[in-house]
Amino acid sequence: MTATVRAVHATAVGSPIEVGDIELPDTGPGRVRVRLAAAGVCHSDLSLTDGTMSVPLPAVLGHEGAGTVVAVGEGVSDVAVGDEVVLNWAPSCGRCHACALGEVWLCAKALLGAADPYARTPDGTVLHPGLNVAAFAEETVVPAACVLPVPAGIPLDRAALLGCAVLTGWGAVHNSARVRTGETVAVFGVGGVGLAALQAARIAGAAQVVAVDVSPEKEGLARAAGATDFLLAGPATAKEIRALTGRQGVDAAVECVGRAATIRAAWDATRRGGRTTVVGIGGKDQQVTFNALELFHWGRSLSGCVYGDSDPAADLPVIAEHVRAGRFDLGALVTDRITLDGVPAAFENMVAGKGGRSLVVF
pLDDT in tens, 165-178: 999 999 999 999 99
Residues 5-28: pLDDT tens digits?
A: 999 999 998 889 999 999 998 999
Burial class (CB in 10 A: 0-12, 13-18, 19+), 260: middle
- The pLDDT of residue 54 is 83
CA distance linking residue 209 with residue 225, whole number of Å? 10
Helix 260-268 vs helix 237-244: angle between axes, to the nearest 10 degrees? Answer: 30
Quote the pLDDT of residue 353.
86
Q: Which domains occur in the chain, in start order?
A: 3-163+329-361 (3.90.180.10), 166-306 (3.40.50.720)
Q: Is the pLDDT score of 50 beyond 90? A: no
Distance CA 30, CA 19 (A): 28
Quote the pLDDT of residue 232. 97
pLDDT tens-digit series, residues 208-255: 999 999 999 999 999 999 999 999 999 999 999 999 999 999 999 999
Per-residue H/E/C for 69-113:
EEEECCCCCCCCCCCEEEECCCCCCCCCHHHHCCCHHHCCCCCHH
pLDDT of residue 53: 86
First to last CA, the chain: 22
pLDDT tens-digit series, residues 271-304: 999 999 999 999 899 999 999 999 999 999 999 9
Per-residue pLDDT band for 75 (boundaries 50, 70, 90) equals very high
Q: Quick check: 1 pLDDT over 70?
A: no
Q: Does residue 340 contact residue 7 with C-beta atoms inside 8 Å?
A: yes
Q: What is the pTM of this model?
A: 0.95
What mean pLDDT do residues 95-108 have?
A: 97
Closest listed residue to residue 34, CA positions, set 71, 79, 78:
71
Q: Are 191 and 256 in contact (CB under 8 A)?
A: yes
pLDDT the model gives residue 2: 75
Q: Which of 31, 1, 22 is nearest to 136 (CA)?
A: 22
